[in-house]
Amino acid sequence: MRSRLVKAELTNNKLMKTSDTYRLIIFTLCGISFLGTAIIASAEERYKGEITMLWPNHVASEDNEGMGTMKPGRSEGSLRLSDITQPYLSYFPAPAQEAPVPVVIVSPGGGYMHIGGTTGRYQIAEWLNDHGISAFVLHYRLPKNRRGAYQDIQRAVRMVRSRAAEWNIDPERIGVMGTSAGGHLSARVSTGYETPSYEAVDELDGASCKPDFTVLLCPAYMNKGKALAKEFTVTDKLSPTLIITCKDDGFFIGSEVYAKALKEAGAPVRTHFFKKGGHGISLNSKDYPLSTWPDLYLQWLKDMKIIEEEAEPENAPDKK
C-alpha cells in the first residue's frame, strides 16, 4: 500500500513539473510572439509613408539608427519615437489630381522628448488625404533639441515649397499643423519665418519658410505666465491661424494668450475652445461637441479658400 502511494506521489510530481514546463514554454512563445509583433510594428510605424531626409548630409547615409528608436507608449500596444538625430519627412500624397493640391506639414507632440501617438501622427495625414490634401509628417530632432527642431521645420517648409512641382503641390497653399509641442513648433515657424535659424545649405533654402496657414491643436509652451512666450514675434503680416483646444487642458492659458496677441496685432485667427477634452485631442473623439472639431477644421480651410466647397450631387434635395 505504501509503495503504491509513493508511486502515485512521484507520478503527480512528474505531471506537475511537466505542466509547469509546458506553461513556461507557452509563456516564452507568447513573449517571443509579442516581441516579434512589436518589432514588426516598430518597423512599419517608423517608416510609414515615403521617406525624405531633410538635410543633404543625411541623404547619402546608410545608417538609419539616427532616424529614431521605438519605445513603449503610455497606452497598451502604443509606441513612440525618440532619439532622432537624422530628421525626415514622411510623405502621404493626396489621391492623384491634375491640379496642384494643398499640403499640410504635421508636427506631432511629445514634449520635445519623443514623438507620441504612432497611430495618431499618421492618422491625421491619411485623414487629410481623404479630403484632397497632401501631408508630410515631420520627424524633427529630439530629445531636448528645440533649436534643432526649429531648424528642421524651417527646412521642411522650404523643401516642400522648392519641390512643389515634383509633388504636385500648390506652393501658395502650404500649411503647418502641430499638436502640443508640435503646435508650439508650428507657431514658431509661422511667426519667425523672416529670421533664418541656420545658414543655407543648398538651393532649396532659397525658398520662403513662411506657411500659408497654421493649425494649432492643443498647443503647449505658448506663454510665460500671462505673457506671450518670448520666441514669438506677432504682426499683422502673419498667415491665417486656427487654434483648437480645450479649457480643461493644462496648457489652455497659452492658447488664450496667443490668440489674444494675434487679434491685437491684426493677424487673422479663429479659435474653437471646447469646455472639456483635456490635452491631446483625437480624430476619434466621440464626445459632443468636441467630436465636431474635424468638421470645424475643414470648414475653416474652405473659408480660407485653401480647399473648395464640395459640390452637391445633381439630385440632391433643395435646402429650405
- Encode pLDDT of 176-216 as tens digits: 999 999 999 999 999 999 999 999 999 999 999 999 999 99
Q: 3 with 64, same domain?
A: no
pLDDT of residue 15: 38
Q: Does residue 42 sit within a domain?
A: yes
Task: Evaluate if residue 42 carries a pLDDT over 50.
Answer: no
Q: Identify the band that residue 60 occupies on the pLDDT scale cut at 50, 70 and 90.
A: low
Q: Does residue 40 sit within a domain?
A: yes
What is the per-residue pLDDT across 255-267, written as a single tens digit (0 to 9) for each? 999 999 999 999 9
What are the distances in angstroms from CA 254 to CA 114, 216, 250? 21, 11, 9
Q: 179 with 244, same domain?
A: yes
pLDDT of residue 225: 94
Contact 177, 214 (CB under 8 A): yes
By CB neighbour count within 10 A (0-12 exposed, 13-18 middle, 19+ buried), where does 260 fall? middle
Task: Evaluate if residue 151 carries a pLDDT over 60.
Answer: yes
Q: 67 with 113, same domain?
A: yes
Q: 32 with 152, same domain?
A: no
The residue-averaged pLDDT of 164-173 equals 98
Contact 242, 214 (CB under 8 A): yes
Q: Does residue 316 sit within a domain?
A: no
Q: Does residue 151 sit within a domain?
A: yes
Contact 106, 121 (CB under 8 A): yes
Cell numbers that stand for 101 in this block: 493640391
Q: Does residue 75 sit within a domain?
A: yes
Computed over every residue of the chain, the mean pLDDT equals 84
Contact 313, 260 (CB under 8 A): no
Q: Does residue 155 sit within a domain?
A: yes
CA distance 245 to 272: 7
Q: 74 with 6, same domain?
A: no
Say which residue, 66 or 19, is predicted with more confidence: 66
Task: Evaluate if residue 248 carries a pLDDT over 50.
Answer: yes
Show the domain range for 191: 50-303
Q: 125 with 13, same domain?
A: no
- State the Cα torsion 190-194-196-202 to the nearest 10°: 100
User: Does an H or E element contain 106, and which?
Assistant: strand 101-107
Q: 34 with 119, same domain?
A: no
Output the furthest CA–CA distance in the chain (Å, rounded).
Answer: 100
Q: 39 with 60, same domain?
A: no
Q: 63 with 208, same domain?
A: yes
Q: 11 with 71, same domain?
A: no
Q: 39 with 55, same domain?
A: no
What is the per-residue pLDDT across 271-281, written as a single tens digit (0 to 9) for each? 999 999 999 78
Q: 108 with 253, same domain?
A: yes
Q: Does residue 312 sit within a domain?
A: no
Q: Does residue 174 sit within a domain?
A: yes
Say which residue, 285 or 36, is predicted with more confidence: 285
- Overall number of domains in the chain: 2
Cα–Cα–Cα angle for 107, 137, 289, rounded to 5 degrees: 60
Tell me the whole-structure pTM to 2 decimals: 0.83
What CATH number corresponds to the domain at position 262?
A: 3.40.50.1820
Cell numbers that stand for 296 in this block: 470645424
